[in-house]
A and B are shown apart, each in its own frame.
Chain A
Amino acid sequence: MTDATQTRPAPDRHVPDRLNSRAARIFKSWEALLLAVAIAIFVINSFASPYFLSAWNLSDATFNFTEKAMIAFAMALLIISGEIDLSVASIIALASTAMGLALQYGAGTPELVIIGLTVGLLCGAFNGFFVTVLGLPSIVVTIGTMSLFRGISFIILGDDAFRGYPASFSWFGQGYIYWVFTVEMLLFVIIAVIYGILLHKTNFGRAVYAIGNNPTGALFSGIRVARVKFILFLLTGLMSGIAAVCLTSRLGSTRPSIATGMELEVVTMVVLGGVNILGGSGTIPGVVIAAFVMGLVTFGLGLLNVPGIVMSIFIGLLLIGVIALPRLWAMAAERRKP
């Protein structure tokens, strides 16, 4: 150990670009571990229930995660930047209520979609204003708006529900593109690709990582930190709006209790996907695999008639287990050393 650190490099030495090859980096990554878990769950499920390996059943299973994952991609960027938005499920409620309200005044499908997305954006802007302009901590702001947005929804609806969405509106949550492939699946893929490119292939994504690693350092490097964070809140709001359109379309009705508790499932998905909850690291492929893992576990347990409350126990154990595993591994390796 000491010898290695004392070895002086040759004075006229060229610094290589990369230390490890691309293959080595991928093999050692969190995503690789997660993919192994996903495959294991798939195999176990296909043995546990004869109904699992059916194209139509698997297609149905994707509804367990597509809407949450759309939000999770934006949330991943937000968490990597060191912020969080816990109001996403309440944004869905408010956006859905707004669409229901517009429906009462005779809005058609295009108007409904525009209203859903606009309410999402406005909610995101509201959160972003308090965090980036007033400098308040995002966890506090969004716990506040979590109650606020859903509260407005309750005031408008009370115990009622909005029903009677037009048939064309049901296309988003119930439509199929081809064979078993749903509209939501297509949206999920498109959004995953967009966010993957945004985070990993653009200057904006690089700024997100820099801010999450060291907000002061990023500011001192000439990055417009507040602007980037505001855009991330807008994106998270917009994704919640899209999820609201899909969910409302799929359910065919709006109640103020719509999507209750979804914010924690979204955060779980992001963290399971290997995003550091303290910010600075994480990838979109990780979140994609985490979405599949959560969908497969929920669906497999559903086929085995496991009640929902037990299912949440499994998800919780899975999260803690997958996060603790590499740590336990490292500790065991440490102990084996002389």
Chain B
Amino acid sequence: MSTRPAPAISPDVSPMVSMDMITKTFPGVKALDQVKLDLYAGQVTALVGENGAGKSTTVKILTGIYQPNGGTIRIDGDPIAFASPNDAAKAGITAIHQETVLFDELSVAENIFIGHAPRTRFGLIDTAQMHRNAAKLLADIGAPFSSHTQLRDLGIANKHLVAIARALSVDARVVIMDEPTAALSHKEIEELYELVETLKSQGKAILFISHKFDEIFRIADRYTVFRDGAFVGDGKIDDISEGDLVTMMVGRSVDQIFPQSDHAIGDEVLKVVGYEHPTEFADINFTLNKGEILGFYGLVGAGRSELMQALFGITKPSKGVCRVNGDIKVIRSPADAVSNGIVYVPEDRGKQGAIIGLPIFQNITLPSLGKTSKSGFLKLAEEFKLAREYSQRLDLRAAALDQDVGNLSGGNQQKVVIAKWLATQPQVIILDEPTKGIDIGSKAAVHEFMSELAAQGLSVIMVSSEIPEIIGMSDRVIVMRDGRIAAELSKDELTPETLVRHAAGITTDGAAA
């Protein structure tokens, strides 16, 4: 349908936007360390990196949400600083986020122009003009719906088009697309590619963030690779192979030391057969043995957390059987899971893990109250005893055990959540991104503790998106992709490349699946 204009890629062209030596630190973490990123008019630059490589931080700096601690941003060669998102918008930079904020109760035109609607002489919104402008934008991107449609009535793909129209309505020169295809079907993705071509032909510079290699090689002209907040390399996509790109992305100097795991692996504890969920996952079969650390690797959205929450009784699988020590167990609620010795340390610590308004000791004893109480009546002395024991085991740093959990650092909150579950003396502990967002010191403590637990005969399931953690900690790894098990790898098969290949669906000969 659209004729593909061949953009002139020449190394002589100077970048429209260039970020140079950009550094961004948060308390305790260096998110970006002197990174460099160039965007060219009429070209798509893919920003590639693992979770935690600093891609999102980069987007936030480019859109004025964060201010960098160092480095310069140049547009057309002139240095510029964005004090606010508004400044970035004025400079023509616009972003389509993974989950763009749109308003279900408003019309498409109102969504596109909210905050910058055309005004009448009296300062009121010029509705007629707004719909005319919106109709034109929608026609440009080939949207099959009217500007009067209520957003609520659109599907996810069409909502995406609204987000794109909104991005273009500010007369953007630079369009950032952050995992735009994550929620789209195959056909919708094709339509998005056409749209990207249209934007390119209009001379816009596009920053494309994606985990999917087939996409990157399909539409990107250039690539830039970040790893652990640092710049690794960039260049033209035609000059690099998929394999080299994977190596750049994951190949790292091993600066993290993981505890030696020399624990004995025993008999089968948990066996999951044919687990299936209407939307999130299907055909899940695996076993977990005593004293084993089983890693679950995959991209965001591969269905790992959803599977774990089904094992823990938060959601119900539509099919499948779960056996604990050989006996079939029906787990309808977290309370059922806990009584069968399965516990879950969730990824969302503040919301699902800790109860931040309650004191530390009450958090720790919450699932163990049956043990610390007598016929339903609390026994504070017993509670403090249990809380003291487990806070010491986990080396918890706190002023007092009756301090609210909300006053603790992220790492110490995580220790409280883990202590809470260990106090129930479980058989299986599921850790969902156990070290996400916690400082290096606490991270090492969590890793250390995990291998101690395995050595004591506890079975651990660790969901992680951090490749070094998966490789360093796991005895065995299951890779998930699109809600299914893509591969099961033993310890000696684990390399960053194989993990990424299976997670992204790249077959061994290098071609995208």
Partners in one complex: yes
Complex interface: chain A residues within 8 A of B402 (CB):
17-19
Indicate if B217 sits at the interface (CB-CB under 8 A): no
Contact (Cβ within 8 A) A201 B377: yes
CB distance from B386 to the nearest CB of A (A): 12
List residues of chain A with CB within 8 A of the CB of B314: 219-220
A-B contacts counted at CB < 8 A amount to: 103
Contact of A15 among B344, B355, B373, B401 (CB under 8 A): B401
B311 on the A face (CB < 8 A): no
- CB-CB nearest in chain B for A9: B397
* Interfacial chain A residues near B367, Cβ < 8 Å: 221-223
Q: What are the residues of chain B within 8 A of A18 when measuring CB–CB?
A: 400-402
Binds A, one of B95-103, B127-135, B330-338: B330-338
A16 interface contact, C-beta 8 A: yes
Tell me which residues across on chain B come within 8 A of A224, comparing CB atoms: 333, 335
Cβ of B346 < 8 Å from any Cβ of A?
yes
Q: A15-B391, A213-B355, A217-B351 are in contact. Are A206 and B401 (CB under 8 A)?
A: no
Digitize B342-373: 1 where CB-to-A-CB distance is under 8 Å, 0 elsewhere: 00101000011111111001100011011001
Complex: how many Å from CA A197 to CA B373? Answer: 14
Cα separation A204 to B403 with both chains bound (whole Å): 22
Please measure, in the bound complex, the distance between the C-alpha atom of A217 and the C-alpha atom of B352, giving whole angstroms.
4
Q: Which residues of B contact A217 (CB under 8 A)?
A: 351-355
User: When A17-B401, A202-B377 are in contact, do A220 and B388 touch as well, CB less than 8 Å?
Assistant: no
A205 to B346, CA, bound (A): 25
B380-417, CB under 8 A of A: which get 1 and which 0? 00001000100110001111111100000000000000
| Chain B positions within 8 Å of A213 at CB level | 355-358
Interface membership of chain B positions 48-72, coded 1 if the CB is closer than 8 angstroms to chain A and 0 otherwise: 0000000000000000000000000
Q: Counting CB contacts under 8 A, is A287 at the interface?
A: no
Q: In whole Å, how far is B394's beta carbon from the nearest beta carbon of chain A?
A: 11
A157 at the interface (CB under 8 A from B): no
Contacting pair A221 B401 (CB below 8 A): no
Smallest CB gap from A212: residue in B: B357
Encoded as 1 (CB less than 8 Å from any B CB) or 0, chain A from 1 to 34 comes to 0000000010001111111000000000000000
Complex interface: chain A residues within 8 A of B356 (CB): 213-214
A216 within 8 Å of B (CB atoms): yes
Binary contact track B301-321/A, C-beta < 8 Å → 1, others 0: 000000000001010000000
Q: How far is the CB of B219 from chain A (nearest CB, A)?
A: 39
B501 contacts across to A, CB distance below 8 A: none
> With A and B bound together, what is the CA distance between A18 and B356 in angstroms?
17
Which residues of chain B are within 8 angstroms of A13 by Cβ–Cβ distance?
A: 397
Contact with B along A195-219 (1 / 0, CB 8 A): 0010001111111011001101111
Most chain B Cβ neighbours within 10 Å, of A17, A210, A219:
A17
**Is B5 part of the binding interface, using a Cβ–Cβ cutoff of 8 Å?**
no
B358 contacts across to A, CB distance below 8 A: 209-210, 213
Size range of the chain B interface in the assembly: 35 or more
Whether the pair B376, A204 counts as a contact (CB closer than 8 A) is yes
Which A residues between 16 and 59 are near B, CB-CB below 8 angstroms? Answer: 16-19
How many angstroms from the CA of A197 to the CA of B333 in the assembled complex? Answer: 28
B residues near A210, Cβ cutoff 8 Å: 355, 358, 362, 366
Chain A contact patch, size range: 20 to 34
A22 CB, min distance to chain B CBs, angstroms: 11
Q: Specify which of B339, B369, B396 is in contact with A206 (CB 8 Å cutoff).
A: B369
Minimum CB–CB distance for A9 against chain B, Å: 6
The residue of chain B having its C-beta at the shortest distance from the C-beta of A226 within the complex is: B333
Whether a CB of chain B sits under 8 angstroms from the CB of A273 is no
The reply to whether A222 and B400 form a contact with Cβ atoms under 8 Å apart is no
- Are A220 and B398 closer than 8 Å at their CB atoms? no
| A241 close to chain B: CB less than 8 A | no
Tell me the chain A residues, 268-286 only, with Cβ under 8 Å from chain B. Answer: 280-281
Residue of B nearest to A204 (CB): B376
Q: Which residues of B contact A203 (CB under 8 A)?
A: 369-370, 373, 376-378
Q: Are A216 and B378 in contact (CB under 8 A)?
A: no
- Answer yes or no: B420 CB below 8 A from chain A CBs: yes
Scan residues 181-218 of chain B and give those whose CB is less than 8 A from a CB of chain A: none
Complex CA distance for A221 and B352, rounded to whole angstroms: 8
Q: How far is the CB of B510 from chain A (nearest CB, A)?
A: 42
In contact, A220 and B352 (Cβ under 8 angstroms): yes
A288 to B378, CA, bound (A): 22
Task: Tell me the minimal C-beta distance from B379 to chain A in angstroms.
Answer: 10
Chain A nearest CB, measured from B87 CB (Å):
30
**Does the CB pair B334–A222 fall under 8 Å?**
yes
Do residues A281 and B401 form an inter-chain contact, with CB atoms below 8 A? no
Chain B interface (Cβ within 8 Å of chain A)? 312, 314, 333-335, 337-339, 344, 346, 351-358, 361-362, 366-367, 369-370, 373, 376-378, 384, 388, 391-392, 396-403, 420
Taking Cβ atoms with an 8 Å cutoff, the residues of A that contact B are 9, 13-19, 197, 201-207, 209-210, 213-214, 216-224, 280-281
Task: Name 23 A/B residue pairs within 8 A (Cβ), A-sorted.
Answer: A15-B392, A15-B400, A15-B401, A201-B377, A201-B378, A202-B376, A202-B377, A202-B378, A203-B370, A203-B378, A204-B376, A206-B362, A206-B369, A213-B357, A214-B356, A214-B357, A216-B351, A217-B352, A220-B314, A220-B334, A222-B335, A223-B334, A224-B335
Closest 3 CB pairs of A and B: A213-B357, A222-B338, A19-B400
Given contacts A210-B355, A219-B333, 18 further A-B contacts (CB under 8 A): A15-B401, A16-B399, A16-B400, A17-B400, A18-B401, A18-B402, A19-B399, A19-B400, A204-B376, A206-B366, A206-B369, A209-B358, A210-B358, A213-B356, A219-B334, A220-B334, A220-B353, A224-B333
